[in-house]
């Protein structure tokens, strides 16, 4: 066993094109961490969870890695240690300190009925992260309820994936970039003290949301994006006399557009740029019509390909490649101070999380969270399970006006909505409790 | 409940205001003790100036999200060494041990106490620095025992505050401290 581990110690792989940038630009303030959580119907058993993580990791061996510094780039190497599973103590999506996490790039925690996995983006994206998380959940339920799953064949099935850099395989050498160089409106407000992060989950009735979106001729993502722009405009932009455009960055799963079964990162993004006054986007209907048009224009294989290709070209640029890592780091960090100013907020919708029928009865809901940053002070993420769609706002702002505005908008449309939060700011949860009473 | 209970933004703001109030009371009490015990030596003014300095550091660190404990520890030890060196160079009258170091110890311990109470969930990050500050604080008693300190009042106040800080810390975070020590020093 030890011999085998010694051999594996030399296993290493390059970071994919997206992953390269995260260890260089990341720090305590910019964690580049996203979180997936599942709320089960019963309290979590820590020992079973630890066992489940080990079993899932045996199937996803490519996640058994640690980050190392090379001379020009960081790289991933085999990690012989076992992952740590512990009770949740800190705020969500915090920087994963390798020294206190057995060097792993993901961290599994639990609290009451909830299991969390915080993933550093260099390891993988939301799509593959969800698959790994689902594997942990399946194993956990099989361990805690053997009587229900003793005939289940899923447990022994090998998972097929590759670790290729699908960016390099699919990018177009001739494509020209389409990135906007205009700075975005930045959310204003007092920040929370002591590095606190507020998490507010708005649990929405999916059927009703789909119905209302359909009536407006929009997809769920388009509809939620439009509400987000509208609420930012009403609650923050107008009050602070904003002038720059509201820019919403929407990550896109590239596996829908290009053939790939990689478990490394393979995502790109589109940016919806709303020039509020210039384009007369002063009411919701106008904003929704604008968002639909933007999606139609930007969410095409050609446009997405252009964004992806221009990012790949940057990563494979021989001049950038040749700069030693210790020089690259400060240069990238400096340029990221500027790059971050190009987005008002990010809204990531990973869509439906499909769970095998027999396992569904143990699950209440899934949550997805992205780390907010000093510049992008609020970030939003959504995912759905069964008839629940959970829209999560993670924020470093003291005021919860945007979260509250979003909640009120959907309530006024007659869509049933519930609030859960980590209690750091309680503007909506208090009201919801009062409503319940 | 989906999350472990944390201090709400409003509560942490209120706590900071309460601690600033307590600091003002401590400052007044120190002035009174100073007047009664050693009216010729105005050490209370120095402590109060130090406290203002500590609050500026804390409020800055809170807004910048820096690891305050590491700053407190470094500044305590650094400034203490510097004052001993200056005292030594000026003919070693002993004021560094009589006044400077006890004042640094008082300020450091009060700052750590405030930090521990305001954000004891984040205590793990502070644990090692807190232990080093406590160990360093015990030095004041050692120097009294060795006869290096002549004005003992301030040293006794410093070591008492340090002891209170240590006890409060243990009560609030004993489990976390144990976990941190096991994790950091495992073989």
Tens digits of per-residue pLDDT, A140-187?
999 999 888 877 666 667 777 888 888 888 877 777 766 666 889 999
Per-residue confidence (pLDDT) for residue B62, from 0 to 100: 65
The pLDDT tens digits for A224-255 are 999 999 999 999 999 888 889 999 999 998 88
In chain A, the residue whose alpha carbon lies closest to the alpha carbon of B116 is A194
Both tokens of A74, joined, read 């960081």
Instruction: Give the A:B interface size as CB pairs under 8 Å.
Output: 64
By Cβ distance, the residue of B3, B4, B12 closest to A193 is B12
Architecture of domain A2-168: 2-Layer Sandwich (3.30)
Both tokens of B23, joined, read 């600091």
Residue A436 confidence class, pLDDT cut points 50, 70, 90: very low
Per-residue confidence (pLDDT) for residue A50, from 0 to 100: 94
Chain B residue numbers with beta carbons less than 8 Å from the beta carbon of A92 are 3
When divided into structural domains, chain B yields a total of 1
By Cβ distance, the residue of B6, B16, B65 closest to A424 is B6
By Cβ distance, the residue of B2, B5, B122 closest to A194 is B122
Chain A residue numbers with beta carbons less than 8 Å from the beta carbon of B177 are none
CA angle A407, A370, A98 (to 5 degrees): 150
Mutation target to probe the B interface, by most B beta carbons within 10 A, among A423, A428, A430, A433 is: A423
CB contact under 8 A, B63 and A198: no
Please state, in angstroms and as integers, the Cα–Cα distance from residue A190 to each residue in A124, A344, A425, B48, following that order.
Answer: 33, 16, 12, 29
Q: Which of A204-213, A357-366, B144-153, B163-172 has the lowest mean pLDDT?
A: B163-172
Per-residue confidence (pLDDT) for residue A389, from 0 to 100: 94
pLDDT reading at B97 higher than 80: yes
Q: Which domain holds residue B115?
A: 40-185
Quick one: average pLDDT of A112-135? Answer: 92
Q: How far is A423 from chain B (nearest CA, A)?
A: 6
Chain B residue numbers with beta carbons less than 8 Å from the beta carbon of A420 are 2
The pTM of the full predicted model, rounded to 2 decimals, is 0.76
Both tokens of A91, joined, read 């705020």
Residue whose C-alpha is closest to residue B9's, from A192, A288, A275? A192
In chain A, the residue whose alpha carbon lies closest to the alpha carbon of B182 is A100
By Cβ distance, the residue of A28, A194, A423 closest to B3 is A423
Residue A428 confidence class, pLDDT cut points 50, 70, 90: low
The pLDDT tens digits for B38-65 are 888 787 887 788 788 777 777 776 666 5
Asked if the structure places residue B119 within a domain, the reply is yes
Chain A residue numbers with beta carbons less than 8 Å from the beta carbon of B118 are 194
CB contact under 8 A, A199 and B5: no
CB contact under 8 A, B9 and A196: yes
CB contact under 8 A, A111 and B2: yes
> What are the contacts of A43-49 at 24+ separation with CB within 8 A?
A43/A112, A43/A113, A44/A110, A44/A111, A44/A112, A44/A113, A44/A114, A44/A115, A45/A144, A46/A85, A46/A87, A46/A110, A48/A140, A48/A143, A48/A144, A49/A85, A49/A108, A49/A110, A49/A115, A49/A136, A49/A140
d(CA B20, CA B27): 10
Asked if the structure places residue B15 within a domain, the reply is no
CB contact under 8 A, A423 and B5: yes
DSSP character string of A357-383: HHHHTTEEEEEEEE---SSS-EEEEEE
Asked if the structure places residue B180 within a domain, the reply is yes
If DSSP codes are grouped into helix, strand and coil, which group holds residue A293? helix
Residue A277 confidence class, pLDDT cut points 50, 70, 90: confident
The pLDDT tens digits for A20-34 are 888 888 777 788 899
Q: How far is A216 from chain B (nearest CA, A)?
A: 34
Asked if the structure places residue B23 within a domain, the reply is no
Name the residue ranges covered by the structural domains of chain A.
2-168
In chain B, the residue whose alpha carbon lies closest to the alpha carbon of A420 is B2
pLDDT reading at B150 higher than 80: yes
Q: Can you say how many angstroms the Cα of residue A238 is from the centroid of all Cα atoms in its chain?
A: 28
What percentage of chain B reaches a pLDDT higher than 70? 81
By Cβ distance, the residue of B2, B62, B183 closest to A194 is B62
d(CA A194, CA B67): 9
Please state, in angstroms and as integers, the Cα–Cα distance from residue A51 to each residue in A157, A385, A432, following that order.
Answer: 18, 25, 38
pLDDT reading at A46 higher than 80: yes
Residue A6 confidence class, pLDDT cut points 50, 70, 90: low
d(CA B157, CA B127): 23
Q: How far is A74 from chain B (nearest CA, A)?
A: 26
Per-residue confidence (pLDDT) for residue B48, from 0 to 100: 83
Residue B186 confidence class, pLDDT cut points 50, 70, 90: very low
Asked if the structure places residue B45 within a domain, the reply is yes
Chain B residue numbers with beta carbons less than 8 Å from the beta carbon of A424 are 6-9
Q: How far is B22 from chain A (nearest CA, A)?
A: 20
Chain B residue numbers with beta carbons less than 8 Å from the beta carbon of A422 are 2-3, 6
d(CA A22, CA A40): 32
Residue whose C-alpha is closest to residue A34's, from A330, A347, A249? A347
In chain B, the residue whose alpha carbon lies closest to the alpha carbon of A92 is B3
In chain B, the residue whose alpha carbon lies closest to the alpha carbon of A190 is B63
Residue A53 confidence class, pLDDT cut points 50, 70, 90: very high
d(CA B96, CA A424): 44
Chain A residue numbers with beta carbons less than 8 Å from the beta carbon of B16 are 193
Quick one: average pLDDT of A107-128? Answer: 92
CB contact under 8 A, B9 and A195: no
């Amino acid at each position: 066993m030890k011999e085998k581990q010694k051999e594996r110690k030399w296993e290493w792989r390059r970071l994919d094109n997206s992953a390269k940038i995260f260890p260089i630009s990341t720090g305590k303030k910019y964690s580049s961490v996203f979180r997936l959580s599942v709320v089960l119907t019963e309290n979590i058993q820590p020992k079973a969870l630890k066992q489940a993580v080990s079993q899932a990791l045996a199937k996803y061996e490519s996640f058994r890695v640690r980050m190392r510094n090379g001379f020009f780039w960081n790289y991933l190497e085999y990690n012989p240690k076992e992952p740590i599973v512990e009770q949740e103590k800190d705020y969500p999506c915090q920087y994963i300190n390798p020294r206190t996490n057995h060097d792993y790039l993901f961290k599994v925690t639990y609290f009451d009925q909830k299991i969390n996995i915080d993933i550093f983006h260099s390891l993988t994206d939301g799509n593959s992260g969800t698959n790994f998380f689902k594997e942990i959940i399946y194993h956990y339920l099989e361990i805690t309820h053997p009587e229900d799953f003793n005939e289940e064949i899923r447990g022994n099935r090998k998972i097929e994936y590759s670790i290729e850099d699908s960016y390099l395989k699919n990018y177009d050498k001739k494509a020209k970039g389409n990135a906007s160089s205009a700075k975005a409106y930045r959310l204003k407000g007092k920040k929370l003290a002591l590095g606190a992060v507020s998490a507010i989950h708005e649990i929405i009735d999916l059927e009703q949301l789909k119905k209302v979106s359909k009536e407006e001729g929009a997809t769920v993502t388009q509809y939620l994006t439009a509400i987000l722009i509208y609420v930012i405009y009403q609650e923050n932009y107008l009050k602070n006399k904003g002038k720059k455009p509201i820019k919403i960055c929407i990550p896109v799963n590239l596996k829908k557009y290009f053939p790939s079964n990689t478990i490394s990162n393979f995502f790109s993004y589109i940016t919806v740029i709303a020039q509020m006054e210039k384009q007369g986007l002063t009411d919701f209907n106008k904003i929704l019509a604008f968002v639909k048009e933007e999606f139609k224009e930007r969410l095409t294989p050609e446009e997405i390909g252009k964004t992806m290709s221009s990012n790949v070209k940057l990563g494979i640029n021989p001049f950038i490649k040749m700069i030693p890592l210790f020089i690259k780091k400060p240069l990238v960090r400096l340029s990221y101070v500027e790059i971050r100013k190009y987005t008002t907020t990010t809204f990531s919708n990973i869509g439906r999380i499909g769970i095998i029928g027999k396992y569904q009865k143990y699950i209440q809901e899934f949550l997805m969270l992205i780390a907010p940053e000093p510049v992008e002070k609020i970030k939003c993420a959504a995912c759905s399970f069964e008839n629940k769609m959970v829209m999560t706002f993670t924020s470093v702002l003291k005021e919860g006006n945007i979260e509250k505005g979003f909640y009120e908008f959907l309530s006024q449309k007659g869509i049933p909505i519930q609030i859960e939060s980590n209690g750091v700011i309680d503007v909506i949860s208090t009201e919801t409790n009062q409503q319940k009473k | 409940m989906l999350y472990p209970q944390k201090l709400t933004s409003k509560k942490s703001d209120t706590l900071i205001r309460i601690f600033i109030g307590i600091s003002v009371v401590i400052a007044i009490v120190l002035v009174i003790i100073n007047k009664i015990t050693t009216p010729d030596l105005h050490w209370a003014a120095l402590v109060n100036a130090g406290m203002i300095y500590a609050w500026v550091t804390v409020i800055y660190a809170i807004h910048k999200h820096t690891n305050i404990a590491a700053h407190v520890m470094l500044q305590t030890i650094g400034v203490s060494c510097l004052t001993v060196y200056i005292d030594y160079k000026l003919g070693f009258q002993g004021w560094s041990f009589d006044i400077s170091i006890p004042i640094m110890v008082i300020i450091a311990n009060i700052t750590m106490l405030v930090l521990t109470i305001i954000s004891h969930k984040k205590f793990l990050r502070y644990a090692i620095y807190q232990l080093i500050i406590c160990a360093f604080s015990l030095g004041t008693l050692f120097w009294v025992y060795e006869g290096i300190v002549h004005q003992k009042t301030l040293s006794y106040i410093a070591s008492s505050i340090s002891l209170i800080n240590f006890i409060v810390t243990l009560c609030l975070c004993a489990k976390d401290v144990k976990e941190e020590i096991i994790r950091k020093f495992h073989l």
